[in-house]
Amino acid sequence: MERRSFLSTSAIAGAGLLLTSTSLGAAHPKVPNYLKGNKKLYRENPRKAAIEWFGQARYGMFLHYGLYSIVGRHEWLQQRETIPVAEYAKLKEQFTADKFNADFITDLALEAGMKYINITTRHHDGFCLWDTKYSDFKSTNSPAKRDLVAELSEQCNKKGLALFLYYSHGRDWKHPHAPNNDAWKGFARPNYKPNDPAYKYGKEHDLNIYLDFVTNQVTELLDNYSPIAGIWLDGIATPKSGDHKLFKCQELYDTIHAKQPQVLVSYKQGLLGTEDFLAPERSYTSGGTLAKPLEVCDHLQRKGWGYVSAEDGHHKSKEEVFEMLKKAAKYPANLLLNTGPLPSGEIHPEDVKTLRAAGKEINKKGWKAILES
């Protein structure tokens, strides 16, 4: 199916809950830089304009960066090795991000031919890369003393790149009232034996306290950084392992859309069916015609999204990037290609070389030639 035909039918029709052009035109006159090509539609309907843009974007950069990067043994380090909450939290004192360079990262994305960037604002371990007022487990309260989301937002807006914000939802290994392993089986928490004292159990546990925390943080991200292109939720196995209605996801989606009307919402392969686009890992089986825009994510390491030191010297090549792009285009879908920065925040040299080489060829030959080769 042609991308433009696809967008004009099922994808836009499935967006739902769009606000009126009159209210949006008055309240949001400034068009985000990444939507300048959709200016007329944006003034009529920001979310529809964003969906149309997303369907043509093709290619984005994913950044998995956090405390797990320091150790270099996978972003699921805490869960896999059942590291106690208090012990894992000590990694915060080693987080310097001294070579995290938003200017370089955004330039690299543009060189690669990418249209957007997605960063892990808060992964499953609960460590936040922005100056949140709802937790002291954050980059501004570490030796880095930096708001990395703010820095990336500034550079993306300046250069016309769209910024998506990854947020771990449901799967949370830090918050005392996050879903527990008694009621939720989707890797909700590490399997501590005995129970970790950082968590609430039994009658003391209240999921709603956690859900309020999530809403407050996501709202804060949208209040602090504008414009945001999308909120990318992860952790779907947890709500799907029980009664997902308890998570009040539609209320969260509505809050997001009310805050910034152009913002798109995804929750992996879809939890409620009201998400704006689907975002599965590596591949997707639709069973028929796609009902929504699609993005597949993959990584430049052989294994793992966060930095894995054992992968050094084995990252994927330019040719493999082209194969991932061609595979995505056949759905049709965007490719969200992940790089796991080094402990310092520096983009892995192997990935820099590959992304630049791929971008140079895309720029020289054009997308059509790359995708049909």
pLDDT digits (tens, 9 = 90+) for 192-203: 999 999 999 999
pLDDT digits (tens, 9 = 90+) for 286-304: 766 678 999 999 999 999 9
Give bridge partners of residue 234 from the DSSP assignment: 168
Q: What is the 3-state secondary structure (H, E, C) of 133-171?
A: CCCCCEHHHCCCCCCHHHHHHHHHHHHCCEEEEEEECCC
pLDDT digits (tens, 9 = 90+) for 149-196: 999 999 999 999 999 999 999 899 999 999 998 888 878 999 999 999
The answer to whether residue 5 scores a pLDDT higher than 60 is: no
Give CA–CA dist 246/29, Å, rounded.
37
Domains contained in the chain, CATH given: 59-372 (3.20.20.80)
Helix (H) and strand (E) counts for the chain?
16, 7
The answer to whether residue 20 scores a pLDDT higher than 80 is: no
Closest CA to 124 of 160, 174, 196: 174
Whole-structure pTM value: 0.92
pLDDT of residue 287: 63
Give bridge partners of residue 103 from the DSSP assignment: none
Residues 6+ apart with CB under 8 A from 311: 301, 302, 303, 304
If you compute the radius of gyration of the chain from its CA atoms, what whole number of angstroms results? 20
| Average pLDDT estimate for 255-268 | 97
The answer to whether residue 91 scores a pLDDT higher than 90 is: yes
**Displacement of CA 120 from its chain's centroid (Å):** 6
Closest CA to 239 of 230, 231, 249: 249
Closest CA to 256 of 210, 291, 217: 217
Closest CA to 6 of 352, 366, 286: 286
Q: What are phi and psi of 266, to 5 degrees?
A: -130, 155
